[in-house]
Amino acid sequence: MNIYTQKLIDKANELDVYDISAFVLGDRRFDIWSGSSKPIQHHYGKNGLSTHTWEVVELCFVNDKTLGLYLDPVELFLSALFHDCGKMWDYQPADTDYKEWCGTEHKRLIHHISRSSLLWNSACTQHNFKYGKYADSVTHNILAHHGHREWGSPVMPKTKAAWLLHLCDGISARMNDADKCDFVKN
């Protein structure tokens, strides 16, 4: 298990939400999965997804404290944990060493945002709606985490938690891929 997955498990235990978090953290793929299918994209390669997820969780909590937002820590954690878990269906290893990754038909047809929301809602159902008070807010945060419809989000962020997740996701992604490619065409 990599250090970021362990930190996520520790945070889930700290917040007493490991039971529902295990839906993601207990999936053996999560620990090793890539965050993208191309080396120029953010968090490409083995452990990329868990690294990105931990960064987003940490950024959400640090910024919540810094900005004095006092958002619900359970909603924040579960939103950040589940926001990209659908990438385990979007990408697959192209070799047995997990050094190369490629996109899947799932990415083209369904996409990780929809899958992540479906997984979150399935987890809520399997836990007999123990987390029912978070069902809609976490769903909204997941669906809005790309921030714009043209970037793949079916809804725009409408709450502070949704905006915070979107912005922290972007910080993690851009700080990881900023030196990998030229964004400005000459």
Q: What is the mean pLDDT of residues 139-152?
A: 93
Residue 113 near residue 152 (C-beta atoms within 8 A): yes
Q: Which position has the higher pLDDT, 180 or 59?
A: 59
Q: Is the pLDDT of residue 181 over 80?
A: no
- How remote is the C-alpha of 164 from its chain's centroid? 13
Least confident range from 77-91, 128-142, 149-163, 169-183: namely 169-183
Q: pLDDT of 74-89, one tens digit each?
A: 999 999 999 999 999 9
Could you tell me the sign of the dihedral formed by the alpha carbons of 120, 126, 132, 136, in that order? positive
Q: What is the pLDDT of residue 183?
A: 53
Q: Is the pLDDT of residue 186 over 60?
A: no
Q: What is the pLDDT of residue 128?
A: 83
pTM: 0.95
Q: Which position has the higher pLDDT, 183 or 177?
A: 177
Q: Is the pLDDT of residue 149 over 90?
A: no
pLDDT above 70: percentage of residues in the chain: 97
Q: What is the mean pLDDT of residues 88-95?
A: 96
Could you tell me the sign of the dihedral formed by the alpha carbons of 177, 181, 157, 92, in that order? negative
Q: What is the pLDDT of residue 91?
A: 96
Q: What is the pLDDT of residue 179?
A: 85
Q: Is the pLDDT of residue 185 over 50?
A: no
Tokens 């700290």 sit on residue: 14
